[in-house]
Copies of this chain bind each other. A is one copy, B any other.
Amino acid sequence: MRVSRRSMLAGTAAGVLAPAVGLAGPAEAAGLTRRITIYAEALPNGRYGYGLEPGKATVPGPLLEIYEGDTLEIELVNTTDQRLSIHPHGVNYDTASDGAPLNASFNNPRETRTYTWRTRARAEASGGFWMPGSAGYWHYHDHAMGTDHGTAGLARGLYGGLIVRKRGDLLPSKQYTVVFNEMMINHEMAPNTPILEARLGERVEWVCIGYGSLPHTFHLHGHRWADTRTGMLSSATDNAQTVDNKNLDPGSSFGFQILAGDGVGPGVWMYHCHVQTHSDGGMVGLFLVRNPDGSLPDGAQDAIDRFKQHDHSGHEMPEARTHA
């Protein structure tokens, strides 16, 4: 089990970067089955979270990671007094692991239940077509708390990222889970939103997830990615679009790998929802690209200080009001 590096700036909320569960290396054979235990727990302030150890639940939950062809068996321990479940996107599961009350697939209060997620590679169909494999940047979430669609579970923090890789995929140095949910990022508003860190040139991986009932668009300053499975192009002639702003509406997810500060240098770069009322309201966080030696680049501390002092309550434009 590979656990990704945590990178947290002093003052940033805990749980920004949950430990990734790397379940198989590229050289390993497909078809492995790994077993983990996830604890669903009540947290302060009415939140709930998933964690890999008792008392360690976070919002978002741990970033889970498997390779195409492998199976993940999750023993979900419900330590709470609420009905809840775990429902994945992107992977195969039979109805008993659906995580939906429709299929009586949930944990009653204090109940433990096993959910099995399977994955597979693409398979040739007829006519030159291929049925797609499981590889992608996915997510998992409660589907049973509050309503039959887990609306209370989502509103209280029961969600996390899920990566299914193809063998041969590039592996990042750092990973970030960024969840846009109602007017929050990872259940926080600025300036309590995550400050995600890397050193200049590090290969970092973003897993972006949308929940709730509002439309969102994710924008990252100073960086861009291909609108493909990996965020990269698959050949010298790949005609995919390059984007730096992408819809992150409820239930959707995408991910991409970039080199921190590549072509733009170290510094503090905003990521935010581009819906103006949302960014003004606090849906903004920071991507801090440090110097190669780990030191803060010029101006970075000033930018962080500005961010931390900002109340995001908006400020009017008095002179201009006389024009309108």
Residues of A within 8 A of B (CB): 42, 45-47, 81-82, 89-90, 92-95, 98, 100-104, 118, 120, 122, 124-136, 145-149, 151-152, 154-156, 168-170, 211-213, 215, 217, 219, 221-222, 224-230, 232-247, 249-254, 258-259, 262-265, 267-270, 272, 274-280, 284, 299, 302-303, 306-307, 310, 314-317, 319-320, 323-324
Q: Is the CB of B229 within 8 A of A90?
A: no
Q: Is the CB of A151 within 8 A of B280?
A: yes
The 6 closest A-B pairs by CB, nearest first: A251-B274, A46-B323, A234-B239, A95-B267, A46-B324, A130-B233
Q: Is the CB of A251 within 8 A of B46?
A: no
Who on chain B is nearest to A46 by CB? B323
Residue in contact with A213 in the complex, picked from B168, B268, B272, B277, CB distance below 8 Å: B277
Give CA–CA (A98, B270) in the complex, Å.
10
Grouping DSSP codes into helix (H, G, I), strand (E, B) and loop, the A interface class, with mixed when no group exceeds half, is loop
Residue in contact with A236 in the complex, picked from B47, B100, B122, CB distance below 8 Å: B122
Q: Is the CB of B306 within 8 A of A102?
A: yes
This chain's copy number in the assembly: 3
- Give the distance to chain B from A150, nearest Cβ to Cβ, in Å: 8
Q: Can you give 5 A-B contacts (C-beta < 8 A)?
A: A95-B269, A104-B303, A211-B276, A227-B241, A228-B240
Who on chain B is nearest to A263 by CB? B92
Give CA–CA (A254, B244) in the complex, Å.
11
Most B CB within 10 A of own CB, among A98, A131, A265: A131
Contacts of A93 in B (CB 8 A): 222, 264
Q: Is the CB of A132 within 8 A of B224?
A: yes
Residue in contact with A239 in the complex, picked from B229, B274, B284, CB distance below 8 Å: B229
